[in-house]
Chain A
Amino acid sequence: MKTNRISLILFILLISVALSACASGSRVVASGWAGITADEETAYLAYNTHVYAVNLANGTEIWRYPSEPDPSITFYAPPALTEDGQLIIGGYDNIVYSINPQTGFVNWTFEESEGRFVGGPLVTQHGIFIPSTDNKVYSLGFNGQPLREAFTTEAEIWASPGSDAECDCIYVASMDHKIYAINAQTGSPSWVTNDLGGAIVGTPALSDERVLYIGTFGEEMIALNADNGSDLWRFAAQDWIWGGPALSEDTLYFGDLSGSFYAVDLQSGLQKWQIQPGSAVVDTPLVTEEAIYFTSESGLIVSVSPDGINRWQKEFEGNTYAGPVAAGDLILVSTTQPEALLAAFDSNGVQKWTFSDASE
């Protein structure tokens, strides 16, 4: 009978292994989706079971929240800082946390969401707007109290909303394939687009000419009139566009899941150049005066000149889903490689430091 039991256990284990999609290669596999923000002295990295505060001068840990890993708390969304000194982040446990950026202690929590938080919060003078997978955007005051009833779309919202000070509105990109313009003070919708052809998970970018740019899973970058949501032009990419675009004076930069990275004329929607240095591009590029920075899923960080010439590139062993983010003179990227959860480079590609979770 003992032999039978052992055989049975072995059989069940075999079934379990066969049923699990456990085909991972030698790369470090992600267990979360990192997000980064920074102030003048500190970088805040949300990844897996912690939010870390990291000293920008040397890459050392200042604090972490929670202090001990809690399997019920994981983070997939980037944090955001408020002007009154709060670090706001939505957890994958349906809870919004306000954390003191100096100490790492929690100020307040908001626990009314029925969905997880994948998109980061948008902080404006009117309050905190945070999207949830329960199809809603919650408007919170800086004390964590709801300002009004949440705005509801027809599908989950993974993208951080975009803001527009001129019309005092926010732009919500939903996975229901639509963009909503919402009055930031009243929460009422100003306009909504028709079905744009694919889900949207990247934050829309707004130009000075009040044109809204957004990429979709329908493999298109779309320019919309920010006053009424009407189409201005569409650019066909080669694959799903995941991250939001970044703008310079006259050019729009973005990548797609084929690994292609594009520079497109803001006015005409015509391609200026295209390169394909790595695998899928899933985050918003960083544009500075001298260069454009972007990452690819395979762990590559690439810097190119405004005319598309490669300046430098570095590769990590892990995957890269967050960054690049500017922090003073540094460019920050997050990887899934345990020794480089956060890495800082200068604009010439010299690595200044890496941050690792010493407890892991």
Chain B
Amino acid sequence: MWDSFISLMINILLYIYAFVGQNFGLAIILFTILVRLVTYPLNAQQVKQSKAMQDLQENKKWQDMQKKYKNDKEKLAQEQMALYKELGVNPFGSCLPTLIQFPIIIGLYQAIIRALAVSPLQLLNLSKHISNGADLIPLNNHFLWMDLSLPEKDFGLAIAGFGIPILAIVVVVTSYLQTKLMTPPSTGGGNDQGAQMTKAMGLYMPIFMGWLAYSFSSGLALYFVISNTSTILQYALMGRLDWSNLLPKRAGK
């Protein structure tokens, strides 16, 4: 089942590759945007439900019941469920679209990685997924200054004698922007666990993504950049970017 899905993704990627004149970099960009467009309704649903949950936490009834039943978890849960029903909010509404999107995004990633087959074993594996398009092999992995099948650490663009991992830096910056711009303002003050977790994620995830981009095939790094950028654009179109998150916060706020 999963293999069939990966095969479908790989064949779509190869179709795009042939369509754009056998340029794998362009194929990755278009394929990532295409997948983002296909999953847009799910993403929009997720954003809508997140907003509803966020608004709910500012609702007076919600805040009152938190205080009133803080020592009676069972009663609190009952009251919360009643309020969800009354306001038409689905508490799992923001999780479900994410869960559905997750395998699609992983499939997209794996399709790119498998199509970048470098070694005989990888190519043999790729052959099992290709229905038509053997004539496209070997894929043209060169895009701009990059060999998409190699990690950037192997060919980093040299500027004034220094190897600069440009793509990894762009991944870190776009990951940071994505995390920062899409993080909703915390309603529980600066000391609640959720806010701390979000803050830690905002710092560690971009570094982790940058490390992945630097160490693995640069085709993957290109995918990260396009994925991050298209996600930021999607949120911008929905009016859900919080630019104030980029400004330094005053102490105590």
On A, residues with C-beta under 8 Å from B are 1, 3-5, 7-8, 11-12, 18-19, 21, 23, 30, 33, 76, 92, 118, 155-156, 158, 175, 177, 197-199, 201, 217-219, 239-240, 242, 257, 280, 282, 297, 321
Contact = CB atoms under 8 A, between A and B. Distances in A.
Contacts of B3: 23
B200 interface: yes
B19 interface: no
B200 A4 contact: yes
Contact of B193 (A4, A12, A218): A4
Contacts of B137: 175, 198-199, 217
Contact of A1 (B2, B114, B196): B196
B124 A242 contact: yes
B6 to A, nearest CB: 9
16 contacts: A5-B200, A7-B197, A8-B197, A8-B204, A12-B205, A12-B208, A19-B110, A23-B2, A175-B138, A177-B135, A197-B135, A199-B137, A201-B120, A217-B135, A242-B124, A280-B124
B109 A19 contact: yes
Given A8-B204, A198-B137, A18 B121 contact: no
B134 interface: yes
Interface string B99-118: 00010001001100110000
A21 B193 contact: no
A19 B134 CA distance: 26
Contacts of B201: 8, 11
Majority-rule SS of B interface residues? helix
Interface of B: 2-3, 102, 106, 109-110, 113-114, 119-121, 124, 127-128, 134-135, 137-138, 193, 196-197, 200-201, 204-205, 208, 212
Contacts of A158: 120
B138 A155 contact: yes
B110 A21 contact: yes
B124 A297 contact: yes
Residue in A8, A118, A197, A198 whose Cβ sees the most chain B Cβ within 10 Å: A8
A199 B123 CA distance: 11
Contact of B197 (A4, A198, A199): A4
A177 B22 CA distance: 15
A217 B134 contact: yes
